[in-house]
Amino acid sequence: MFIRTAGPNDLPAIRDVLVETWHATYDGIYGAARVTEITNDWHSLRSLRAQLDKPDAEFVVADDGVAIAGMAFAGTADDGKTVTLSQLYVRPGRQGQGIGGMLLDEIIESFPDAERIRLEVEPANARAIAFYLTQGFVEIGRTENCGRDQSGIPALILERAVA
């Protein structure tokens, strides 16, 4: 498994990772129809393409040479001092193999001037919360609108120092 920068040709496979992971993780929380609605908006090829082109951001994939097993996307704020991890997803069948940690490490290394990394996670996503806690994150707050403005999706805000 190696971590590399995502490219335009990866976008359909990245979308597949996101759709599969979101349904496996969130159908029981939000229902399959709502998850489909979210993935069709947030994880459309157009949305993913916009992420590729975003300045001061890093978009990486975990690639085993045959398939994309996971992906991560993050950008900076505060003149590069805060990294916001917007996405880190690993296919359900590949979770627990260290891929998430590899993706997180690559994101952190991509922002050498960063002092902290911050993310939002669904409070009912116990597996993700446990992963982030083992990676040194702590809860610093909550939001009722994870992701996009007025999403109505609650989230815990987690952060850890990186400097």
Model pTM?
Answer: 0.93
pLDDT tens-digit profile of 101-120? Answer: 999 999 999 999 999 999 99
Task: Give percent of the chain above pLDDT 70.
Answer: 97
- pLDDT at residue 148 in the model: 65
Give CB contacts under 8 A, 24+ apart, made by 142-150. 146/120, 146/122, 147/42, 147/86, 147/120, 148/41, 148/42
pLDDT tens-digit profile of 3-28? Answer: 999 999 999 999 999 999 999 999 99
Domain ranges in the chain are 2-161
pLDDT tens-digit profile of 62-90? Answer: 999 999 999 999 999 778 899 999 999 99
Task: Give percent of the chain above pLDDT 90.
Answer: 85
Tokens of 124: 């009912």
| Class of the CATH domain delimited by 2-161 | alpha beta
